[in-house]
Amino acid sequence: MPAKPRIGKLVVIGVGLIGGSFALALKKAKMVKQVVGVGRSRKNLKDALRLGVIDLVETDAAKAVADADLVLIGAPVGQMPGIFARIAPALSPHTVVTDAGSTKQDVIAAARRHLGAHFPMFVPAHPIAGTEHSGAAAAFPDLFRDRNLILLPQQETKASALRLVKSAWQACGSNIVKLDATEHDEIFGAVSHLPHVIAFALVHQLGKRRDAKRLLGFSGGGLRDTVRIAGSSPEMWRDICTANREALVPLVDGTIAELEAARDALAAGDGETLEAMFRSARETRSRWLIKNKK
Amino acid sequence: MPAKPRIGKLVVIGVGLIGGSFALALKKAKMVKQVVGVGRSRKNLKDALRLGVIDLVETDAAKAVADADLVLIGAPVGQMPGIFARIAPALSPHTVVTDAGSTKQDVIAAARRHLGAHFPMFVPAHPIAGTEHSGAAAAFPDLFRDRNLILLPQQETKASALRLVKSAWQACGSNIVKLDATEHDEIFGAVSHLPHVIAFALVHQLGKRRDAKRLLGFSGGGLRDTVRIAGSSPEMWRDICTANREALVPLVDGTIAELEAARDALAAGDGETLEAMFRSARETRSRWLIKNKK
């Protein structure tokens, strides 16, 4: 006998990989009765409907959220201020709002500004999952299984709202972790946003060469893995990087400094310095991989 | 009925992932009768013997190559000049020598210098295969299947020597491609050596932070794939990078320039420039992946 759905109406604004997988996971867990999808691309919403990711399409976010139990905003972070402003007047008092944005200080500030009296019902969150694919067609219910879900409740956040969002992500199989927004943005600037900038920069460098086609024809698994994440959505990553630029600029400067040190050692034929850098990096990676296996 | 072995005695100098896998592939193809392993690490040679990668251990490279039909040098490229010098006086006239070095201009120059009259029996080669693991225990016979094998015959190279090396790699399942040494070093500087430098630099940057442990505990699949190759041998990559520094220094400078452009766009909040860079990179990656699927 399936458990009684705890969420009557879920509205997903931005039915992409994250929003779509959240809907599929809650459906699989029989925790949701109806999913309404809102988005900019008609084709994507059609896909989502056809694939059973959502049950209804609504083009107007304000109309969609009427009487919703939970609203998940899965849109690129750059769109969140506009979405908060649009839905705020239409929210029922009981409606819990959450997001899946990759940056948190900016999203929380925008929610505080635009949701006004409804802000205590907003639970900022960030699922640490994703692939280089985007869109509803890439969604799958197990995307969040055994992955971290960062919750960032604010002082004002209502305990009941927090409980609902937490239990939804637990139903997705996520491991819940609480973080402060500043620390969150610094951590994910380093382990996620920076690697994306680097991967995009490397492929951009190679792709603009006249011999790019011939060159890339000779590449192997090393380059393929190193630049996998350069297949990610340019718009989404533009938004993430600009939203988190305060943390990201010094991080990119740090990589430039590392590459300058490597370059100088190379130019001087200083193999010792290079090897020390490579060896220390390998040790960090091994320690970290061993730790992750536990 | 097994085919008659074409190689009576194969000597592998440096029984690592590449040298060991070459031996295993030729054994599997029943193309070799006896494999003699030479190396610096007794433990690694013992592993190789125990795992059936080699049949005999010899610590002295000069003794080992006596009456060999084929000698494969699988040692880091920085050791090649010393190995060529050591084996040159001990080579029988019929012995074919080949290598698996990741850089070619330096290896060919060293062979020309140290092999002297035997240089026409040397066939420079580079198998485009590998993993982030090293050592004989990581070797497996199918490592080279359907992977490119670059052959770089020189004007002096004897046709019979070229034929033997070519047929050995074909028996490993490799796809043979001929390249000029300068073009080889430029291509692999860009698609292999540069990504390694970048992966090492990024992990080095993160690993030296005080909060490295906590930080890396939050990393996901993006960072993991981006830095997989930072698990590679520091010594081997020190040698490759310093050997190919003429091609590599301008390539690292190119990456620094890309990162500086990204940094400036970030600092200026210029999302348009960032998005154009990300979009162009994603298109390059997609074109290249589609091409690779054929």
Q: Specify the pLDDT at position A222.
A: 87
- List the single residue in A191, A213, A257 with the smallest CB-CB distance to B223: A191
- Based on the domain organization, do B143 and B283 belong to the same domain? no
A156 shares a domain with A51: yes
Shared domain for B242 and B265, answered yes or no, is yes
Instruction: Give the Cα separation of A258 and A238 in Å (integer).
Output: 24
Q: What is the mean pLDDT of residues A19-27?
A: 98
Q: Domain end: A133, A148, A179, which one?
A: A179
Q: Are residues B205 and B86 in the same domain?
A: no
- Rounded to an integer, the average pLDDT of B247-262 is 98
**Interchain CB contact of A149 with B (< 8 Å):** no
Q: Is A2 part of any domain?
A: no
Q: What does the alpha-carbon distance between residue B288 and residue B286 come to, in Å, rounded to a whole number?
A: 5
- B219, B240, B294: best mutation site toward chain A, by most A Cβ within 10 Å? B219
Between chains, do A214 and B284 touch, taking CB under 8 Å as contact? no
Judge whether B237 lies within some domain.
yes
Range of the domain at A17: 7-179
Question: Does A134 have pLDDT greater than 80?
Answer: yes
A64-80 pLDDT, tens digit per residue, is 999 999 999 999 999 99
Q: Is the dihedral of CA A205, A210, A213, A219 positive or negative?
A: negative
Which residue among B128, B150, B179 closes a domain? B179
**A166 and A255 in a common domain:** no
Model pLDDT, residue B291: 59
Q: What is the mean pLDDT of residues A217-231?
A: 90
Q: Per residue in A251-262, pLDDT tens?
A: 999 999 999 999
Do B262 and A201 count as a contact with CB atoms less than 8 A apart?
yes
Averaged pLDDT, B120-133: 91
Distance from CA of B111 to the nearest CA of A (A): 21
Mean pLDDT value across chain A: 94
The number of C-beta contacts closer than 8 angstroms across A and B is 291
The pLDDT assigned to B161 comes to: 97
> What pLDDT does residue B2 have?
44
Q: Tens digits of per-residue pLDDT, A180-205?
A: 999 999 999 999 999 999 999 999 99
User: Are A215 and A88 found together in one domain?
Assistant: no
pLDDT at residue A294 is higher than 60: no
The answer to whether the CB atoms of A262 and B200 lie below 8 A apart is yes
Which residues of chain A lie closer than 8 angstroms to B188, CB-CB?
218
Q: How confident is the model at residue A291 (pLDDT cuts 50, 70, 90)?
A: low
pLDDT at residue B288, as a whole number: 82
**SS3 category, A213:** helix
Q: Do B227 and B240 belong together in one domain?
A: yes
Q: Which of B179, B206, B222 is the last residue before a domain boundary?
A: B179
Going by C-beta distance under 8 Å and a sequence separation of 6 or more, which residues neighbour residue A268?
Answer: none
Any domain includes A150: yes
Chain A residues whose CB is inside 8 A of the B78 CB are: 271
Least confident of A19-23, A136-140, A289-293: A289-293
Give the nearest partner residue to A263 out of B128, B212, B249, using CB atoms.
B249
Nearest one of B46, B58, B14, B13 to B233, comparing CA atoms? B14
Instruction: Characterize the bridge pairing of strands A70-73 and A96-99.
Output: parallel
CATH number at residue B133: 3.40.50.720
Evaluate whether A119 touches A112 at the Cβ level (below 8 Å). Answer: yes
Q: How confident is the model at residue B6 (pLDDT cuts 50, 70, 90)?
A: confident
Secondary structure string (H, E, C) spanning chain B: CCCCCCEEEEEEECCCHHHHHHHHHHHHCCCEEEEEEECCCHHHHHHHHHCCCCCEECCCHHHHCCCCCEEEECCCHHHHHHHHHHHHHHCCCCCEEEECCCCCHHHHHHHHHHHHHHHHHEECEEECCCCCCCCHHHCCCCCCCCCEEEECCCCCCCHHHHHHHHHHHHHCCCEEEECCHHHHHHHHHHHHHHHHHHHHHHHHHHHCCCCHHHHHHCCCHHHHHHCHHHHCCHHHHHHHHHHCHHHHHHHHHHHHHHHHHHHHHHHCCCHHHHHHHHHHHHHHHHHHHHHHHC
Say yes or no: B258 contacts chain A, CB-CB below 8 A: yes
**Quick one: A165 and A244 in the same domain?**
no
pLDDT in tens, B29-60: 999 999 999 999 999 999 999 999 999 999 99
CB B158 within 8 A of CB B120: yes
Question: Is residue A165 very low, low, confident or very high in pLDDT (cuts 50, 70, 90)?
Answer: very high
With beta carbons under 8 A apart, name residues in chain B contacting A232. Answer: 278, 282
Q: What is the pLDDT of residue A288?
A: 83
Same domain, A17 and A84: yes
**Are B225 and A225 an interchain contact pair (Cβ–Cβ within 8 Å)?**
yes
**Average pLDDT, integer, range B87-95:** 98
Task: Report the run of H or E that residue A259 belongs to, with start and end.
Answer: helix A245-267
**CATH of residue A285:** 1.10.3660.10
| B284 within a domain of the structure (yes/no) | yes
Same domain, B106 and B233: no
Give the per-residue pLDDT at A43.
95
How many separate domains does chain B show? 2
Q: Is there a domain that residue B1 lies in?
A: no
Choose from B179, B196, B256, B287 for mutation: most chain A CBs within 10 A: B256
CA distance A254 to chain B (A): 7
Residues of A in contact with B259 (CB under 8 A): 197-198, 201, 252, 255-256, 259
The answer, yes or no, to whether ipTM is higher than 0.90 is no
| Percentage of the residues of chain A whose pLDDT score is greater than 70 | 96
Same domain (yes/no): A211, A261: yes
- Whether B178 and chain A come into contact, CB under 8 Å, resolves to no
A190 plus A288 within the same structural domain: yes
Q: What is the pLDDT of residues B173-226, one digit of tens each?
A: 999 999 999 999 999 999 999 999 999 999 999 999 999 999 999 988 889 999
Check CB contact of B210 with chain A, cutoff 8 Å: no
Q: Is A196 helix (H, G, I), strand (E, B) or coil?
A: helix
- pLDDT score of B120 more than 50: yes
Q: Specify the pLDDT at position A290.
A: 56
- What pLDDT is attached to residue B293? 46
Q: Which two tokens stand for residue A94?
A: 């009981």
